[in-house]
Chain A
Amino acid sequence: MIVEIGHYALVLAFALALVQSILPVWGARTRDAQLMAVAGPAALAQFLFVALAFGALTWAAVVSDFSVANVFENSHSAKPLQFKISGVWGNHEGSMLLWVLILALFGAMVAAFGRNLPETLKANALGVQAWIASAFLLFILATSNPFQRLSPAPMEGRDLNPILQDWGLAIHPPLLYLGYVGFSISFAFAVAALIDGRIDAAWARWVRPWTLAAWVFLTLGIAMGSYWAYYELGWGGWWFWDPVENASFMPWLSGTALLHSAIVMEKRNALKVWTILLAILTFSLSLLGTFLVRSGVLTSVHAFATDPARGVFILMILTLFIGGSLALFAWRGSTLTQGGIFAPISREGALVFNNLFLTVSCLAVFVGTLYPLVLEAVTGDKISVGAPFFNVVFGIIVVPLLLVVPIGPFLAWKRGDLGAVAERLAVALVVALVVAAITGWISRGVAPVLAALGFGLAAWLVVGALAEFAFRIRLFAEPIGTSLRRARGLPRSAWGMTIAHVGVGLSVVGIVAESAWKTEHILIMKPNDTVEVAGMTVQYQGSAPRKGPNFQEQTGVFAVSRGGVLLTTLRPAKRFYPARQMPTTEAAIGQFDLYASNLYISLGDAQTDGGMAVRIYWKPFVNFIWYGCVVMALGGFVSLSDRRLRVGAPVPARLAGRVPVGAAE
């Protein structure tokens, strides 16, 4: 009964989404308060019902109700409880349900927190949100219904893909979806503004926090996915420029651009049309990601669904929303008024530069990802655009962008003074050059140029961000007490910007260190063999079988010592999941240098002579990649907590001139 209640709740949510698609928008057009009033409660009720459906499916998975086809296909009674729960979204149907749950959640949040919004804007935005919800609920009900039943119920389930039986699955998709779907709010507001034909201040104020929230989650989601791939797939890599990764990276790039252009719009009332276009593009890229992953166009661990009917359906949704919104933009965009002029050398100018480079880098990823697919569809030729292409092209575009990051915040709005900025950044420049010289000298035998440029850039980013902060609180220029008081008084959005820009620098440290200094040993080891890695001795002590709840594994034991002192023991394993007849590799990762560097060991195949194929990687400072992402997200959170985002009152220019203002002040 619970399952059927869940199924019916999903259907009701669809019916409500239809109502919410029509009545409020109609009401907004005819200025009918009665019809517009429907939007909020309908969005809340829609969320309630989708949550009910999701709860019912989760319940079915927890109690192993294999009369639900989706549970039978993706669960197993012996699976640990946490994976029974996370397995709910570890498959196509369930993850689509999570997708619409989060969509409904955002709609409900607009309804709940949108009291301040002008009624027509709110009605239109929720109406657009409901269009998206209707399309995806229909998609679920028509092609991917998670509540399909089996009778009689099979005795045992087929278990979840073992690669997905991991904590990563519990965290990565929900975070990623919060990001992807969060951009639907910016999209809905953009389309609502186009429908209404005007952009008011409420629009500008709303878009930034929502974009920021979505961006924070997407950042964390991508970082989590990257870390998961790193430790689970056993290849020791953290980013493969795989089309599925690119599918999540493209909305991140354009979302980052949107985040920055929304600042200009909020502060200076400029770049409005461009911001609307970016909001549309960002969500379109999220939809494109969904399409690429779900249509069976790509083969990967993410491609749950290879049913062409689903691909065609999503393609239709994609065409409808992207085509529709862009057509609307072409039609109404010109009626929107532009405002705020600025000199090229100014805060606005720097942010336009940022937007330009982010968009172009996004375009590069887009071409590299889709070109092979299009080529194969048109000519049947299979080519692969791999890491070398992306590394070169993306690197060329992104390095100038990173070079400018510390400069932008120093520039004043409207008209900036590069000379003064150069003076204030002199310290950062000196530090960067010293770091470059030192690191280049350290790695003179390995990759001196990469190390020097990379670490120099990272130092420039980190010190540059801190220098801006120090300048603003007049550190060393005034007594330390005054500086601290100034730091406390700084708006949280300024804190957030500094933290986020430092995070970018930290990620660059990790990326460069990992690329320039990693070492790799692939060898066959017999018990008691040793190998020297990064000044440590790794001894293979043998392997032993072990039995888990729903798998068997062969665990290798490796003692890691330096100078005869045992540092740690690592136990990589090869697992076998009988229900799916699938092996997985469980790499063992030893943490060194205060949780910065990794010794990464993964097992290959056992040899007939008692030897074991072993891969050992030394990854110096690799964790900085993810620490950097977490710091970036933290910056986003801090900025999000800035109360003034909700009032959105700009500081008059008179005051702004006296106090150097932050990116989002």
Chain B
Amino acid sequence: MPPRRRISAGSGGTVRPAARFCAEPMGARCALRATVPKGGRPDDMMLWIILAAMTAIAALAVLGPMARARQTSLSAADRDLAVYKDQLAEIDRDLERGVIGLREAEAGRTEISRRILKAARGGEATAGAGSGRRGRIGAIVAAVGLPAVALGVYLSTGAPDLPDQPLSERLAARPEQADIDNLVARVESHLMQNPEDGRGWEVLAPVYLRLNRPADAAQAFRNAIRTLGTSPRRQSGLGEALTVVAGGIVTAEARAAFEAALAAEPGLVAARMYLNLALTQEGRHAEAVAAWRTMIAGAAPDAPWLPTAQRELAAAEIAGGLPPSGQPAPAGQPAPAGQAGTAPPDKAAAAPGPSADDVAAAAGMAPEDRTRMIEGMVARLSERLDQGGGSVDEWSRLIRSLAVLGRKDEARAAALKAREAVKSSADDLARIDDLSKGLGLAL
């Protein structure tokens, strides 16, 4: 395994969750938590009725005994007497059933009689029935306090709009999923009998990956390669499966697979992206930035993977303490040209970024220190732009930096300010909007 250096965007110590480039941005596997769907279902009304009934039962459990106690309240001595009589009766019952001997029963009776005498002497003050005031307070607690606490807590923690979603219902709602499970089971049993059927493995492997069974997927890709020979798609799939198995780390084995895939088919986007990611994970930030820029430069403007690539580019830039896009690339690296979010080199040259010294200093720092330094630079930039305004490139840099640092709200605020600042130019406005959209900021 290569050094398990992980990308540290945001704070120095955070570990990125398993990186998986999602084809569908809201796919269930990628987005675990999303907004709760709002909407009135007939179930909703039913739920509230049941909750109300439960509340009533709880309140009655408190109010009921209070009401009964008022009717039957006895003095302490009376109550003790009742207890002792009960005990005497119990002794008789036990004696009848033969669970205790005559002698023990006699001893028990004597003991209890002694207690009865003691109780009759009345050692204790008489307990009153509930005073009116205390009773009223108790009733208020039960009738008002209890539902208030319950509702207050539930409304802040519960999700009353969310229906139950047992697996069977979810499968029924998405028949294709049930079909997939059937299909997988059929193909699996077929392959159990015919393990040399490469086409079966080939069909199954990507399905495994989608079902979040990466280890099975990797094995299936290997089997497909073993039986059908290598191909760029199989190698790339194998690499992806291995990466997911390793929790998002592009292992040496995965990298070899991606490299094999690219050697045969240089245009394979996924393999290229994982290799770029591997560069960042190994701490080769400058190379990663260059690779991302090259890739973005060659992309069609509507390529679905472009936002992801831009996000990773920004992350690589931050992690490496490199000048964000829009700056002239360091000598010897191909300059990006004409993609969304970056300016043509000639215009960008005017925007002051971190000095060469800053970059050199950042490269040798511990991740925490580097993050602190980056945050310092972002703060300075933000202050300067707030006071004196700046070019669209500087605004873009600020927005992206904030977004990459995970400070989405500030990024959004900066984007709004930027729009205000550059509203005179339609081109600049569009650039800010594109960038915001790419970073997932809703303006």
Contact = CB atoms under 8 A, between A and B. Distances in A.
Q: Do A and B bind each other?
A: yes
Report whether over half of chain B's contact residues are helix, strand or loop; otherwise say mixed.
helix
Contacts, number: 232
A149 to B, nearest CB: 4
A154 interface: yes
B164 interface: yes
Interface string A429-452: 000000000000000000000000
B43 A65 contact: no
A166 to B, nearest CB: 22
A655 B107 contact: yes
Interface stretch (B29-37, B272-280, B311-319): B29-37
B215 A581 contact: yes
Interface in A9-41: 9, 11-12, 14-16, 18-19, 22-23, 26-27, 30-38, 40-41
B164 A16 contact: no
Contact of A644 (B100, B159, B212): B100
A151 B99 CA distance: 59
A147 B162 CA distance: 11
B149 A15 contact: yes
Contacts of B265: none
A34 to B, nearest CB: 3
Interface in A551-579: 578-579
B166 A63 contact: yes
Contacts of B270: none
B146 interface: yes
Interface in A133-185: 141, 145, 147, 149-156
Given A15-B146, A67-B164, A154 B32 contact: yes
A119 interface: yes
A60 interface: yes
B160 A4 contact: yes
A8 B170 contact: no
A33 B73 contact: yes
A455 interface: no
A583 B65 CA distance: 55
Indicate the member of A36, A48, A649 with the most B CB atoms within 10 Å. A649
A41 B91 CA distance: 27
Interface stretch (B125-133, B287-295, B334-342): B125-133
B79 A647 contact: no
Contact of A650 (B31, B43, B111): B111
B162 to A, nearest CB: 5
B215 A37 contact: no
Interface residues of B, number: 88
B177 interface: yes
A26 B58 CA distance: 20
A155 B157 CA distance: 24
Nearest to B126: A31
B24 to A, nearest CB: 11
Report whether over half of chain A's contact residues are helix, strand or loop; otherwise say mixed.
helix
Contact of B129 (A34, A155, A489): A34
B246 to A, nearest CB: 10
B241 to A, nearest CB: 12
B215 A11 contact: no
A44 interface: yes
B203 interface: no
A80 interface: no
A216 B227 CA distance: 61
Contact of B51 (A8, A33, A116, A152): A8
A49 B146 CA distance: 14
A336 interface: no
B135 A34 contact: yes
A651 interface: yes
A120 to B, nearest CB: 8
Contact of A118 (B73, B80, B145, B153): B80
22 contacts: A1-B46, A12-B146, A19-B142, A32-B130, A33-B69, A38-B62, A38-B138, A41-B62, A63-B168, A67-B165, A77-B167, A118-B80, A119-B79, A151-B35, A151-B159, A152-B34, A154-B29, A155-B29, A156-B211, A156-B212, A201-B115, A578-B213
Interface of A: 1-5, 7-9, 11-12, 14-16, 18-19, 22-23, 26-27, 30-38, 40-42, 44-45, 48-49, 60, 63-67, 77, 115-119, 141, 145, 147, 149-156, 201, 489, 491, 578-579, 581, 643-644, 646-647, 649-652, 655
